[in-house]
Amino acid sequence: MSWIVLIASGVLEAVWATALGKSAGFTKLWPTVVFVAALVASMGGLAFAMRTLPVGTSYAVWVGIGASLTVLYAMAFGGEGFSLPKLLLVLGIVGCVVGLKVVH
């Protein structure tokens, strides 16, 4: 159960990071509301997962999922340029996250 919550929390990290960018310094209401809700849920899920999973593994998986999804979203929707090397590096992060689950 902790792994499922941790993965969902990593996805929510990408949501709050993207909403933070779209909030324009907290001047736009709805992106700010999404940011706060996703941040609270993401941190809560991370805290829940850390009750049974090691702190280092939990944090690395959470950040890896969040960072990867944030970059992929930005590349897909025009906020960030796409390149094959960048895609391969993001896939490397995903591979490392999967590796942490496998060796746990």
| Regions of the chain with pLDDT less than 50 | none
Domain boundaries, the chain: 2-103
Q: Give the pLDDT of residue 79.
A: 82
2-20 residue pLDDT tens? 999 999 999 999 999 999 9
Q: Distance (Å, rounded) from C-alpha 85 to C-alpha 69?
A: 16
Q: Give the pLDDT of residue 23.
A: 97
Which residues, other chains included, contact 20 with Cβ-Cβ below 8 Å and sequence gap of 6+? 31, 35
What is the chain's alpha carbon radius of gyration, rounded to the nearest angstrom? 14
Question: Of 74, 92, 57, which Cα lies nearest the Cα of 14?
Answer: 74
